[in-house]
């Protein structure tokens, strides 16, 4: 038997280099896709929190509007500059404290300057913790949404008709401002409307 010499061809390792480049490209594509998905998930979560806060604010706004139409024998509490009033039932002698009913003489909302920005005091969290405000009684909000807070400010009477010769022709508008949070306390929605009972 004759042995033949084994010829070894020199290999340049091109396959290894190509494989490493392909692996690097796949890793970059996977990382970019993961970052994009994570960002979209955060955006969806923030949108959900904003929607929860807005729905909570809308429910409190409806409750505040309904409070302007008390069911007899209840009466609408007085509106004071301080935003709080105590009403004592003449029959039962039970006192009820109403918060968040501000008169037209009230100083809210006032502007607060923080640094180079000016915003309404109603946008500051401190306003809602240091001043008399009403808390919504709606408890079916779910998703760990805190009960919204609101204030009602009685404004000057206005005429919405072409002419108002009689005092009864004029309407009394009320400015209702609601502050609500979503699933997290950092998501805040403030809703304001002007409502008339006439």
| pLDDT tens sequence across 182-191 | 878 788 888 8
pLDDT given for residue 28 in this prediction: 93
| pLDDT tens sequence across 9-60 | 666 678 888 889 999 999 999 999 899 888 888 888 888 888 888 999 999 9
pLDDT given for residue 23 in this prediction: 93
Which of the two residues, 115 and 82, has the higher pLDDT score?
Answer: 82
Helices (H), 68-184: 125-130
Which of the two residues, 113 and 137, has the higher pLDDT score?
Answer: 137
Q: Is the pLDDT of residue 176 over 60?
A: yes
pLDDT given for residue 21 in this prediction: 92
Alpha carbon distance 55, 12 (integer Å):
67
Buried b (16+ CB within 10 A) or exposed e, 110-143: eeeeeeeeeeeebeeeebbeebbbbebeeeebee
Q: Is the pLDDT of residue 114 over 70?
A: no
Model confidence at 72, in pLDDT bands (50, 70, 90)? low
SS3 53: helix
pLDDT given for residue 121 in this prediction: 66
Q: CA angle, 20 as apex, 14 and 22 as ends, to 5°?
A: 100
Q: Name the token pair of 1.
A: 């038997």
Helices (H), 68-134: 125-130
Which of the two residues, 39 and 1, has the higher pLDDT score?
Answer: 39
Which of the two residues, 143 and 69, has the higher pLDDT score?
Answer: 69
Q: Name the token pair of 167.
A: 């005092």
Average pLDDT (143-152) is: 86
Burial (Cβ within 10 Å: 0-12, 13-18, ≥19) of residue 41: exposed
| pLDDT tens sequence across 122-144 | 777 777 888 888 888 887 777 77
Residue 11 CA: distances (Å) to CA of 20, 22, 23, 85, 170: 17, 20, 21, 93, 97
């Amino acid at each position: 038997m004759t042995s033949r010499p084994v010829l070894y061809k020199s290999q340049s390792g091109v396959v290894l280099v190509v494989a490493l480049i392909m692996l690097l490209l796949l890793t970059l594509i996977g990382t970019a896709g993961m970052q994009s998905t994570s960002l979209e998930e955060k955006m969806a979560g923030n949108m959900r929190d904003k929607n929860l806060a807005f729905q909570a604010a809308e429910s409190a706004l409806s409750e505040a509007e309904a409070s302007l139409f008390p069911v007899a024998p209840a009466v609408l509490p007085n509106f004071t500059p301080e935003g709080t009033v105590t009403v004592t039932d003449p029959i039962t002698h039970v006192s009820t404290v109403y918060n968040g009913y501000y008169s037209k003489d009230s100083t809210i909302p006032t502007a607060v300057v923080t640094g180079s920005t000016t915003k309404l005091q109603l946008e500051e969290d401190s306003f809602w913790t240091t001043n008399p405000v009403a808390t919504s009684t709606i408890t079916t909000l779910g998703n760990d949404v805190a009960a919204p807070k609101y204030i009602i400010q009685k404004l000057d009477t206005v005429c919405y008709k072409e002419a108002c010769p009689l005092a009864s022709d004029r309407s009394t508008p009320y400015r209702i401002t609601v502050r609500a949070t979503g699933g997290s306390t950092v998501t805040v929605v403030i809703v304001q409307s002007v409502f008339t009972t006439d």
